[in-house]
Amino acid sequence: MTETRRRPPWLVRINYRMRVLSFGMAFVAAVLHSHSKSNLAVVWVMLALVFLVYPHVQYWRVRRAANAVRAEMSNLLVDSLLLGVSIAALGFPLWIAFSAVTGALTNNATNKGWRGVADNTLALAAGALAWVAIMGFHFSPETDAITTAFCMVSLGWYLLTMSNLGFTRNRQLRLTRETLRQRENELLGANEALVRNLHEIEGLQRNLRQTDIVHSRLSDQANRDSLTHLYNRRYLDSSLMQALLRCKRAEQPLALIMVDIDHFKKIGSSSISL
């Protein structure tokens, strides 16, 4: 249920609005052109279905499609096919045919480029030929002044609206690119700051290692005798205290051996001279 109610893409929404308005205007043009002519009832039923019902059916179908944009691209072909049928059914009136074909091909060029123009030209021709093959050929190109004026105004409005939609979309894309460029610059600045911080951290680490080395040397000098370089009384006191604490925690005995060497300074002096 959630899938069927999702918001359709921008392209689908815009094409739906333009299809409803343009097909509605095409229906008005058909009414103005044929109000004084005795057309078959099947023609009027077909025109009402194509121009008034079809846009909503297509939008309903696209909203439930797995790929809405691809389904909308196929809709453009169906639009041209039905327009070809409708133009043939009306007898190929010049201004109605010109307005419908120009609008359809402009929309396809905007959405699919020159390939879309070629495909939909074939679809228009196929729709017209299908009607002629079934219902026969009827050619009535003349349109009265009111119908002609309405087609001119409608076609001009449609082309201006398409141009404005393209301008609006391009402006949105330009703003998006500028925003992305700004974010990229901010990211580059943050990256440079991070590199500087890493260099500073590396320098601090080097200084810390050097400090540790100096501290270790000073500690070693403080715990060793300057003459013999053997551990002194200060080291004995700290080491003995640590050993006592470990034995106390482990509840184990501690043995201490003390050796007294006579004339130790002479031994130390001779070891240094060696």
Q: What is the pLDDT of residue 269?
A: 54
Instruction: Return the bridge partners of 231, or none.
Output: 224
Angle between helical axes of 10-34 and 54-63 (0-180°, round to 10): 170
**What's the pTM?**
0.62
**Model pLDDT, residue 132:** 92
What would the two tokens of residue 59 be? Answer: 């939008």
More confident: 74 or 217: 74
Q: Token pair 């184990």 is at which residue?
A: 252
Q: Judge contact between 264 and 257, C-beta under 8 A.
A: no
Amino acid occupying residue 76: L
Query: Of all residues in the chain, what percent carry a pLDDT higher than 90?
Result: 13
Q: Given a cut of 90, is residue 38 above it in pLDDT?
A: no
Separation between Cα atoms, residue 201 and residue 198, nearest integer Å:
5
What percentage of the chain reaches a pLDDT higher than 70? 89
In 3D, which of 81, 80, 83, 61 has the Cα closest to residue 70? 61
Residue 1 pLDDT class (50, 70, 90 cuts):
very low
- Residue 138 makes CB contacts below 8 A (sequence gap 6+) with 88, 91, 92
Beta strands in the chain (DSSP E): none
pLDDT at 42: 73
Chain centroid, CA 92 distance in Å: 45
Mean pLDDT on 230-258: 78
What pLDDT does residue 129 have? 94
The pLDDT of 15-24, averaged and rounded, is 88
Which residue from 82, 79, 83, 90 is spatially nearest to 137, judged by alpha carbons?
Answer: 90
Tallying the residues shown for the chain, one arrives at 274
- Which pLDDT does position 109 carry in this prediction? 83
Q: Which residues contact 29 (CB under 8 A, 6 or more apart)?
A: 95, 96, 99, 147, 150, 151, 154
pLDDT top residue among 213 and 129: 129
